[in-house]
Chains A and B, each alone.
Chain A
Amino acid sequence: MKKILSLALVALIVLSLMAGCSNNKPANNGKSEVKTIGLAISTLNNPFFVDLEAGAKAKAAELNVKLVTLDSQDDSATEMSNVEDLINQGVDVIMINPTDSDAVKSAVEAANKANIPVITLDRGANGGTVVSHIASDNVAGGKLAGEYIVELLGGKGKVVELEGIPGASAARDRGEGFNSAIAGTDLKVVAKQTANFDRAQGLTVMENILQAQPEIDAVFAHNDEMALGALEAIKASGRNTLVVGFDATDDAKAAVAKGEMAATVEQLPKEIGSLGIQTAVKVLNGEKVENMIPVNLQLVKK
């Protein structure tokens, strides 16, 4: 019996501790004045989405609404569960940053069924009813990067494309934009491989490519992590190659400032999160909102 009690005690302590760690104290009751907005975010393992959440959090504090963030850990089924949990919790608006546009459909439909308005962030949903979609245009961003490389190389040369996780929409869109920009020029893609948005893989993949390709003028990576990995490989090889990344993380911006990277395409994740909250509040106030809200992109160069 003593064991059972100690077990109960431990469980209690752990759970209370965890409750203490929560971002927000639970509302005293469902009828409280403060409205709650749920955010199912694709992952919090990536600085970009951490920034997105930070932007949302800051705006939520400013507008005096409560924000509940759940992490889908890049898994569609977890995302589904998280949205279900948000519905059961009775939040007023659900913002989803989908792991995948197709797979999020059921989650959106579940929210629709519960009459909770849905806003998608960064990635869209291919089904269900969404009141508004807020995103930066990845295709445009890829194009921006491509055009800059064309400009720097004078429309001629050999380039390498480091792709993101196969199947991720950002990888597809950025690649599409980039390839559309270099189409019709004398730029040739001599190597095209995935490094899964990962810095360590960016390094090893680039090392292999450097071994195989005697001549490389530029590298376009679908995100900065891969770009920075590739940069290390290039530095180690002693060769000189332009590197353009995407996302404008702090590391990448520093590399651009030092002149190691040529440029990075800056999305404004905080802006996406912030706009999401603004839109959600408008929805709650019964105001009309645009069903597509584009967020600026910009090229960061020295």
Chain B
Amino acid sequence: MTMNKFINKLLKNKPLIVLIITSVVVSVLNPRFSTWGNILTILRQTSINAVIATGMTFAILIGGIDLSVGSVLGFCGAIAATMIASGTNVFIVVITALLLGTAIGFLNGTLVTAGRLQPFIATLGTVTLLRGIIMVFTQGRPVSTGNTDASAFFGKIGGGFIGPIPVPVYIMLLVFIAAYYILNHTRIGRYVYASGSNEEATIYSGINTNKVKLFVYSVSGMMAALAGILVTARLGSAQPNAGVGYELDAIAAVVLGGTSMAGGIGTIAGTAIGALIIGVLNNALNLMQVSSYYQDVAKGIVILIAVLLDRKQKLLR
């Protein structure tokens, strides 16, 4: 690729430009922003939303949505914390939590396919249902992972470092790579795009789109569970209200990344950039000491501008 082509391609990537411009502007306004330590902090802070948003990308690509991610995060986090506190092996805890998240995702998928519910409605139901179960399960109290060796080791998943890089950042990167590979190089990935783009044509091509949907919602559930593990490990405690409202940040990241809410169009790279934009904004607004009341205003404006520019580009005739 020549330099010129490369630049052209870059200029077409609106989300990336928004990310770069935001970063440059903030670096100028506050030199502390571009320090190595702060960049690592941003990456670590972004990891949770990024992991959820990756699962959400699958759900949105197929033309659906998964509103239940926040509740799945809270639920799997609470289960993980309880198990750690009772001295269960960390490895088993992680596997169990992930499987549990996958199972809840599968349930969402079943509601959408066999139950023929709109994804919005189905997952809206699970949001409330699961939050209630969390409350019953925890009696409304936070669950501490305790002060054992196991909990210390578990804590490393959220707070530890390998070399200079925080563990959640590695996990986020692994998730991105895996999701990219699945969407671009595997059969099921192709089917996700096809079903999201034109479900009927996909059925006519001999593909069982219900299976694809079950897969997609299972992935979303599993990613939410993984985020739940990250949050719980980081805080050493599972909050009954952990994850409330997280689905909105995840959806924002996906949409910022250029994925169409109608399904069929979008990339993981876009979602990664979208999640980073949100992470950078959160961090930058804090660093610049913007009053917290104005922070949401600023975030809302930036998200709208980014999405509008992207839409305009797509509507060009």
| Chain A interface (Cβ < 8 Å from any Cβ of B) | 1, 3-4, 7-8, 10-12, 14-16, 18-19, 21-24, 26, 44, 68-71, 74-77, 80-82, 84-86, 88-90, 99-106, 126-127, 165-167, 172, 194
Contact = CB atoms under 8 A, between A and B. Distances in A.
A29 B240 CA distance: 41
Contacts of B135: 166-167
A11 B288 CA distance: 15
B86 interface: no
Nearest to B282: A81
Interface stretch (B20-28, B94-102, B108-116): B20-28
Contact of B298 (A14, A80, A89): A14
Contacts of B284: 15
Nearest to B35: A88
Contact of A14 (B138, B295, B301): B301
Given A3-B309, A19-B290, A103-B142, A11 B236 contact: no
Contacts of B32: 88-90
B142 A70 contact: no
Contacts of B14: 7
Interface of B: 11, 14, 17-18, 21-22, 25-26, 29-30, 32, 35, 37-38, 41, 44-45, 48, 135, 138-142, 144, 155, 158-159, 231, 234-237, 239-242, 244-245, 282-295, 297-298, 301-302, 305, 309, 313
Given A8-B21, A15-B22, A106-B236, 20 more contacts: A7-B17, A7-B305, A11-B18, A14-B302, A16-B29, A18-B285, A19-B288, A22-B288, A26-B289, A69-B292, A76-B237, A77-B231, A84-B44, A89-B287, A99-B239, A100-B237, A102-B142, A102-B237, A103-B235, A103-B237
A102 B151 CA distance: 13
A21 B17 CA distance: 25
B289 A81 contact: no
B144 A126 contact: yes
B26 A15 contact: yes
Which label, helix, strand, loop or mixed, suits the secondary structure of the B interface?
helix
Contacts of A68: 289
A11 B289 contact: no
A77 B159 CA distance: 12
Nearest to A3: B309
A19 to B, nearest CB: 5
Q: Which of B26, B41, B140, B298 has the most CB of A within 10 A?
A: B140
Contacts of B45: 81, 84
A213 B114 CA distance: 43
B139 A166 contact: yes
The 4 closest A-B pairs by CB, nearest first: A166-B140, A71-B292, A102-B237, A167-B140
Nearest to B33: A88
A245 B17 CA distance: 52
Given A81-B282, A102-B142, A103-B142, A19 B292 contact: no
A11 B21 contact: yes
Contact of B305 (A14, A85, A106): A14
Nearest to A25: B289
Contacts of A12: 21, 25
Given A11-B302, A102-B142, A103-B236, A76 B242 contact: yes
A89 B29 CA distance: 13
Given A7-B18, A11-B25, A167-B141, A80 B291 contact: no
Contact of A82 (B142, B286, B297): B286
B241 A105 contact: no
Contacts of B44: 84
B169 to A, nearest CB: 13
Contacts of A74: 241
A105 B235 contact: yes
B258 to A, nearest CB: 14
Nearest to A24: B289
A10 B236 contact: no
A171 to B, nearest CB: 8
Nearest to B155: A106
Contact of A18 (B140, B231, B237, B294): B294
Given A7-B305, A89-B32, A106-B235, A70 B292 contact: yes
Contacts of A172: 141
A23 B41 contact: no
A153 B245 CA distance: 43
Contacts of A70: 286, 292
A23 B235 contact: no
Given A71-B295, A77-B235, A103-B236, A18 B288 contact: yes
A102 B138 CA distance: 14
Nearest to A36: B289
Contact of B38 (A26, A88, A104, A127): A88
Contacts of A1: 11
B21 A84 contact: no
Contacts of B158: 106
Nearest to B44: A84
Contacts of A76: 231, 235, 237, 239, 242
